[in-house]
Amino acid sequence: MNEKMSMSMEIKSEWIEAFKNVFSLCEIKKSEKVIILSESSSRRVNIEIAKIALGILSIDYTLLEVKSKMNEGPLKVSTGASNALNGQDFTIKMLLESDVIVDLTCEGLMHSEATGKILKSSTRIMNISNESPEILCRLTPKIDMKEKVKNSLEAFRSAKNMNIKSESGTDLIVSVEGSPIVGVWGWTNRPGTLAHWPGGLVACFPGENTTNGTIVFSPGDINLTFKKYFESEVKCIVRNDFITEVQGKSLDAKLMRRYFESFKDANTYAVSHVGWGLNSEARYEAISMYEKHEINGTELRVIQGNFLFSTGANEFANRFTEGHFDLPMMDCLIELDGAIIVKDGKIFC
């Protein structure tokens, strides 16, 4: 679907209901300062739906749109690391003074350099993933997701070590003790927090020198930067947080190596976040159903029982880079201090 078509797309009443539902869960009050933040490449239909839904709820808002930046580095469809606010001091100042940001930027503010500062100002950020509204509507947050995420958070935050294994040879150990661990259930009503929709995820941003071992991507695992499923095995060696080798002669291995190299930035190879998905309604086959520009892949990040391994920006380790791979791996065994947490796609906490 091209941009012209998306602009003329009929807005369905159920999409408006879904947006209203999320804003209601965020408990946005009429007295709060709300900013709808977008960029020139944002999906226009979602901006329109957000405006309509807030209007129905009688919530005033300010529209703030920044110009999308040109690709300065290598080509990209999606990296997961937003540069929309880089150098936008005037915009950031306004965001700092707001109570709620309805984040409709293309990549979302999850890994943006400005995000830490914005959250410290007690602003809450509700990121609506740059997806087709059909996907958002299908994955409208359910109340029970909060409890599922909280259960996983409790287990994760009380653990010292996380171990991930797979039949194809993945064997990674992450010392998670003391590292920030976040949970996303799909909405936020708490000042100074960020949520994304679709939600259903826990993620740890490991500190320095905490991650070691081997990752073996198998056919059927997912590369969300390329928006494709792995069709062959790719082995990555991880030493003290950094991928030191991407092994294999397959096309998947070559593509990953080339993309990593193209950033000419050591931080691109570092571990960004590790965690697992909790959304049983997220569909594994989704990226085979859409054109690449129609989908952002957040649905795949939250698939129940996937091990989400990501490289690149890790704001908690003070590493910033535009190179970011989100790599959901299926059928991994995840253990916390030796206790099984995820096995065969099922959650045991």
Residues lying near Fe ion in the complex (CB under 5 A): 80, 310, 326
In 146-169, which positions are buried (b, 16+ CB within 10 angstroms) versus exposed (e)? bebbebbbebbbebeebbbbbebe
Work out the angle at residue 96's Cα, subtended by the Cα atoms of residues 34 and 295, and round it to the nearest 5 degrees.
Answer: 60
Minimum distance from CB of 121 to Fe ion (Å)? Answer: 23
CB of 328 to Fe ion, least distance (A): 10
**Of 110 and 286, CB closest to Fe ion:** 110
User: What letter represents residue 169's amino acid?
Assistant: G
Cα 175 to Cα 189: distance, rounded to the nearest angstrom: 30
In the complex, minimum distance from the CB of residue 314 to Fe ion, in angstroms, rounded to a whole number = 9
Torsion sign, CA atoms 7, 10, 13, 18 = negative
Which CB sits closer to Fe ion, 66 or 109?
A: 109
- Residues ≥6 apart with Cβ < 8 Å to 179: 204, 205, 206, 207, 210, 316
Q: Which residue, 131 or 326, is less far from Fe ion as judged by CB?
A: 326
Query: Residue 81 Cβ, how far from Fe ion at the closest point, in Å?
Result: 8
CB of 310 vs Fe ion, minimal distance in Å: 4
| Cβ distance to Fe ion smaller for residue 111 or 148 | 111
Q: Which is nearer to Fe ion, 320 or 348 (CB)?
A: 320
Residues recorded for the chain: 349
Minimum CB distance to Fe ion, residue 324 (Å): 6
Q: Is the dihedral of CA 36, 88, 224, 226 positive or negative?
A: positive
Nearer to Fe ion, 313 or 341 (CB): 313
Residue 98 phi, psi (nearest 5): -90, 165
